[in-house]
């Protein structure tokens, strides 16, 4: 998700809640129907691909991943997740991915139509997408901790009920998502889908709210870093066990698939965050690079779905 600098977008330099349209200012709390183009910065993307072409690309990806998610739910229908902690975490992760794909499908259709859309609907979609995205990152971390706990034979805090602690963790994740959802519905922190950048952007960035907005990225990076640390410890233990067994089979295929699932989910999420942050990849310097953020956003939730289907069956 891109954070637009005020130097790059004069339209967003107005006081919070205000847009400029035809040289007139509107309080967007009352101005619910808006023209995407009127509030979008000029980027090279629109000169190369039409909104219909971009929308079809987004819609095709979203539908493919949506179908895979349905197949995943169908494939695990006979699996009891009541007492299976990792499958329960993955199931909840699948629910979040499912909702994200629905939101991506709606956004893709709006991109193709490029019509005047209710601003509240756009804010609602943006809030769902980003709060569920953060929830997915937290669940990846919880699953990684679960795999760490299994690999190390629950040697840390053995008296604590694993079933209870992970159940509480999932509940806290949903509570956190509700908090982020409410946060993204606050007028000065709302998101719009920009039809010239073809990605989700904050409706207004000021010096006062910039740091608050960046908290989202910081939280995601913290959970990704913690997940990475636990995954390094997991693989260290795996290598150690491998050496001790002198080539004998010591690891169940199911457990390996669960670890692979958490690693792949971590890798795709980390990649999209790196692209968004611009730390190593300057993707916005070219028109085709500017297309990547939203495509990556679709892929990261879709990739989680795909990994679920192929790694956990």
Query: In angstroms, what CA-CA distances link 241 with 147, 244, 250, 251?
Result: 15, 5, 7, 9
Q: Each residue of 195-223: pLDDT tens digit?
A: 777 888 887 777 766 777 777 778 888 89
The domain locations on the chain are: 10-311
Q: Given this model, what pLDDT does residue 36 score? A: 41
Better-predicted residue by pLDDT, 133 or 309? 133
**Size of the chain in residues:** 313
Cβ contact 63:102 at 8 Å: no
Q: How confident is residue 125, by pLDDT bands cut at 50, 70 and 90?
A: very high
Which CATH superfamily does the domain covering 10-311 fall into? Rhodopsin 7-helix transmembrane proteins (1.20.1070.10)
| Segment among 3-17, 92-106, 125-139 with least mean pLDDT | 3-17
β-pair partners for 21: 24
Residues 143-155 have a mean pLDDT of: 81
Pairwise CA distance, residues 101 & 298, whole Å: 7
Cβ contact 261:144 at 8 Å: no
- 186 contact partners, CB below 8 Å, separation of at least 6: none
Residue 83, token pair as written in the block: 């007492």
Beta strands in the chain (DSSP E): 18-21, 24-27, 33-34, 117-118, 191-194, 199-202
Burial of 267 (0-12, 13-18, 19+ CB in 10 A): middle
């Amino acid at each position: 998700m891109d954070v637009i600098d005020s130097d790059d977008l004069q339209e967003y330099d107005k006081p919070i809640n205000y847009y400029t349209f035809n040289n007139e200012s509107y309080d967007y709390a009352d101005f619910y129907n808006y023209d995407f183009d009127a509030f979008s910065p000029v980027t090279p993307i629109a000169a190369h691909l039409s909104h219909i072409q971009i929308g079809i690309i987004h819609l095709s990806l979203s539908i493919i991943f949506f179908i895979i998610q349905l197949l995943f739910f169908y494939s695990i229908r006979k699996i009891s997740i009541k007492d299976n902690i990792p499958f329960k975490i993955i199931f909840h992760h699948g629910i979040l991915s499912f909702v994200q794909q629905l939101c991506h499908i709606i956004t893709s259709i709006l991109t193709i139509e490029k019509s005047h859309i209710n601003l509240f609907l756009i804010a609602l979609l943006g809030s769902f997408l980003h709060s569920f995205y953060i929830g997915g990152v937290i669940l990846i971390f919880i699953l990684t901790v679960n795999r760490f706990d299994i690999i190390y034979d629950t040697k840390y805090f053995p008296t604590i009920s694993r079933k209870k602690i992970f159940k509480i963790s999932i509940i806290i994740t949903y509570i956190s998502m509700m908090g982020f959802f409410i946060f993204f519905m606050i007028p000065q922190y709302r998101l719009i889908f920009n039809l010239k950048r073809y990605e989700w952007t904050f409706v207004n960035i000021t010096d006062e709210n910039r740091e608050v907005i960046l908290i989202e990225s910081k939280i995601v990076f913290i959970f990704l870093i913690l997940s990475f640390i636990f995954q390094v410890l997991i693989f260290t233990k795996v290598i150690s066990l491998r050496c001790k067994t002198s080539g004998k089979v010591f690891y169940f295929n199911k457990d390996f698939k669960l670890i692979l699932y958490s690693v792949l989910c971590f890798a795709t999420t980390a990649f999209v965050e790196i692209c968004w942050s611009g730390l190593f990849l300057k993707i916005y310097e070219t028109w085709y690079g500017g297309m990547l953020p939203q495509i990556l956003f679709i892929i990261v939730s879709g990739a989680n779905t795909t990994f679920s289907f192929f790694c956990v069956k």
